[in-house]
Amino acid sequence: MSATISEPLTTTAAWTAVCAYDDLLPERGVCALVDGRQVAVFRTFDGAVHALDNLDPFSGAYVLSRGIVGTRKGEPTVASPLHKQVFSLATGRCLDEQGVAVPVYAVRVSGGAVEVSLQG
């Protein structure tokens, strides 16, 4: 079950705090609204955080935050819950269909909060 966070906690410069790191469960996604854009945020078992666009380009639905987190050849991935295409959490590239990708956003942990930037 994915949590949805509809409003940012705080915004400083280009970074928006979306949730507490400890609230982001490993291998689960959450959806956060950052500057009007739906962003899927994930924490993997190794503790890394990733952020990419929540829009599934194959279905047109905002569902990637509800996808299945895994790995393919050591690369962290999320599989769309609708059509099961797999996207790299690191690059946004679809690993099943060449030429398809979703935007990836900068993400960091600062003071215990997960922060996302749509810039850079």
Domains of the chain: 3-117 (2.102.10.10)
Q: pTM for the complete prediction?
A: 0.87
Mean pLDDT of the chain: 91
pLDDT for residue 100 is more than 50: yes
116's CB contacts (< 8 A; 6+ apart) are 15, 16, 18, 32, 34, 39, 41, 51, 105, 106, 107
Q: How confident is residue 120, by pLDDT bands cut at 50, 70 and 90?
A: low
pLDDT for residue 5 is more than 70: no
Classify each residue of 35-44 as buried b or exposed e, where b means 16 or more C-beta atoms within 10 Å of its C-beta.
Answer: eeebbbbbbb
Q: Which has the closest alpha carbon to 104: 42, 62, 58, 44?
A: 42
d(CA 58, CA 13): 33
Q: Residue type for 17, please? A: A
pLDDT digits 0-9 by tens, 39-90? 999 999 999 999 999 999 999 999 999 999 999 999 999 999 999 999 999 9
104's CB contacts (< 8 A; 6+ apart) are 50, 51, 52, 53, 89, 90, 91, 92
Please report the sign of the dihedral spanned by the C-alpha atoms of residue 30, residue 15, residue 71, residue 58. positive
d(CA 63, CA 29): 10
